């Protein structure tokens, strides 16, 4: 028997809600981690009732249950990076902050999810938003708000690129170590990365696709995976943006609303020609293998 031990890949934790259509939240995170050769684990903050057509209802995880999930993971495995998404309520935000203090994980990406894409469902309560801004944000390596979230976290209205930069500076002033203000809903898909010293504009073209469900979750989790693999922040953000852009380009429809990204676009293979089948080799006796006489 072989004593060869296969080393585990970097382990990345998603703390987020569950989307039954698997386009966003924990499902998107886990697919993204796998696509970056990381092993994903997860703690569920909420169960949503949703499809590609939108969110119908949200059922938040009680804080004690979230704490138990996180403690079970912390006792068992070494976590290389954490991605935080939807939290639901202030109690869960407090649990996550306390967990970060205990876990002492170097790479933490906070995607401060506040409302559903349609804007008709609150995904965190007012107390949770306040706690994210005042406490959780400063515990993260980088925060990844969209325009609406950046307006709330900075207190500034955002109408153009200059406003995005001003908001990024204000968010860092308020305690964040670094921030990426995502401009996907602006006229041009330009994101702004500010790490407290250098402001970097990340250009990009809008991809003409309706299949963008979970793009924000995927971007944050791709950054977390890149950080877990040892990339510096600037490179991690650039690679994550390139990955999400391509995954949107390759996205597909699965229902009546916006479909998911193709998280595994890099590994797709052409289906075998009709009538040609691969013969399994593992465990076959040599005499039974094709070509053996």
Sign of CA dihedral 85, 89, 92, 93: positive
In a domain, 227, yes or no: yes
Tell me the average pLDDT across 140-169: 96
> Above 70 in pLDDT, residue 284?
no
> Above 60 in pLDDT, residue 49?
yes
Grouping H, G, I as helix, E, B as strand and the rest as coil, residue 166 is helix
pLDDT in the model for residue 293: 39
Grouping H, G, I as helix, E, B as strand and the rest as coil, residue 207 is coil
In a domain, 293, yes or no: no
Sign of CA dihedral 60, 98, 142, 30: negative
pLDDT in the model for residue 274: 65
> Above 60 in pLDDT, residue 292?
no
pLDDT in the model for residue 287: 41
In a domain, 20, yes or no: yes
In a domain, 5, yes or no: no
> Above 70 in pLDDT, residue 270?
no
Q: Please indicate whether residue 91 or residue 279 has the higher confidence score (pLDDT).
A: 91
Domain count across the chain:
1
- Quote the pTM value: 0.90
The share of the chain scoring above pLDDT 90, in percent, equals 81
Tell me the average pLDDT across 39-48: 98
Range of the domain at 226: 11-288
Tell me the average pLDDT across 66-84: 98
pLDDT in the model for residue 208: 83
pLDDT in the model for residue 267: 87
What CATH number is associated with residue 250?
3.40.1190.20
In a domain, 78, yes or no: yes
In a domain, 200, yes or no: yes
Residue 197's pLDDT band, with cuts at 50, 70 and 90, is very high
In a domain, 2, yes or no: no
Question: Could you tell me where the DSSP H helices lie in 155-232?
Answer: 161-173, 215-228
Q: Which long-range contacts (CB under 8 A, 24 or more apart) does 71-78 make?
A: 71/99, 73/13, 73/41, 73/43, 74/99, 74/102, 74/103, 77/11, 77/41, 78/11
In a domain, 215, yes or no: yes
CA max distance for the chain: 77
């Amino acid at each position: 028997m072989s004593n060869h031990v296969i080393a585990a890949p970097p382990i990345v934790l998603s703390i987020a809600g569950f989307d039954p259509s698997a386009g966003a939240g924990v499902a998107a995170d886990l697919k993204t981690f796998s696509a970056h050769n990381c092993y994903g684990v997860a703690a569920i903050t909420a169960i949503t009732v949703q499809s590609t057509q939108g969110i119908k209802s949200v059922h938040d995880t009680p804080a004690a249950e979230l704490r138990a999930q996180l403690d079970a993971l912390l006792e068992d495995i070494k976590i290389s990076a954490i991605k935080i998404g939807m939290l639901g309520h202030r109690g869960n935000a407090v649990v996550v902050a306390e967990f970060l203090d205990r876990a002492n994980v170097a790479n933490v990406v906070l995607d401060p999810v506040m409302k559903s894409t349609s804007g008709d469902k609150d995904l965190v309560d007012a107390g949770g938003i306040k706690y994210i801004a005042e406490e959780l944000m400063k515990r993260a390596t980088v925060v990844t708000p969209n325009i609406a979230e950046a307006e709330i976290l900075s207190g500034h209205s955002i109408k153009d690129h200059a406003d995005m930069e001003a908001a990024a500076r204000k968010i860092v002033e308020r305690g964040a170590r670094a921030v990426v203000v995502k401009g996907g809903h602006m006229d041009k898909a330009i994101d702004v990365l500010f790490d407290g010293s250098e402001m970097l504009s990340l250009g990009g073209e809008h991809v003409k696709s309706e299949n963008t469900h979970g793009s924000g979750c995927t971007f944050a989790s791709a950054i977390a995976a890149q950080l877990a693999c040892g990339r510096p922040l600037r490179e991690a953000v650039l690679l994550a943006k390139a990955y999400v852009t391509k995954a949107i380009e390759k996205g597909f429809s699965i229902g009546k609303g916006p479909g998911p990204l193709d998280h595994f676009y890099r590994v797709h293979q052409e289906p075998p020609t009709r009538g040609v089948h691969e013969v399994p080799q593992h465990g076959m006796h040599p005499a039974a293998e094709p070509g053996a006489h």
